[in-house]
Amino acid sequence: MELSGSGYFFALAGLSMAFLGFTSIVVVLHKGTGVPLSAFQVLITRLFTELGLMATGFAMVAPTLALFGIAEELVWPISSGFMLAVLVPWLITYPIRRKKAAPDQKWPLRGHVLNFIGMLAVVGLCANVFGLPAAPNPAPLAFATVFVLSYASVSFFWTYELFLQE
């Protein structure tokens, strides 16, 4: 029996890989100008890569667990726990790494908004681990995966011009 929502998760994985490929092309084109990347550009490049791979991995966790014959009612809390173990440290450390790479830049409003949405994703994943207030299901995993991909996309949109400068 196929895991509910697996088609959606496969589509998210494909979308995140396409995002990762596109952002890699932009960075390579910038590198072709011969201008070295600044510390902030290196951080942003890592951001795109980290979030693109996180979204891909998050989208594939539940379908992979299902392949091992794990019951669907266990797939969701196990997947949520895995996602928490990766997402929470990332949400905590990224602002610190950003401040180190760009000490003179103020944390933008969109960063605060994205981190708030990230906290909502964390709360949803925690609820899914414990089955409260509803039985574990794919919705919190989908929300968290879309959040990660959205964080990457918003960041790319707002920093794209950095890679156009010579």
What pTM value is reported for the model? 0.94
Look at residue 163 in the predicted model and tell me its pLDDT: 81
Look at residue 1 in the predicted model and tell me its pLDDT: 58
By three-state DSSP, how is residue 51 classified?
A: helix
Look at residue 92 in the predicted model and tell me its pLDDT: 96
Look at residue 120 in the predicted model and tell me its pLDDT: 98
Dihedral over alpha carbons 53, 56, 58, 64 (to 10 degrees): -120
| The Cα angle at residue 51 between residues 47 and 57, in degrees rounded to 5 | 150
Look at residue 64 in the predicted model and tell me its pLDDT: 96
Q: What does the pLDDT profile of the chain (166 residues) look like in tens digits?
A: 589 899 999 999 999 999 999 999 988 888 888 888 899 999 999 999 999 999 999 999 999 999 999 999 999 999 999 999 999 999 999 999 999 999 999 999 999 999 999 999 999 999 999 999 999 999 999 999 999 999 999 999 999 888 876 6
Neighbouring C-beta atoms of residue 108, cutoff 10 Å? 12
* CB contact at 8 A, 43 and 101: yes
| The Cα angle at residue 113 between residues 124 and 151, in degrees rounded to 5 | 75
Look at residue 129 in the predicted model and tell me its pLDDT: 98
Residue type, 78: I
Look at residue 162 in the predicted model and tell me its pLDDT: 84
Look at residue 27 in the predicted model and tell me its pLDDT: 86
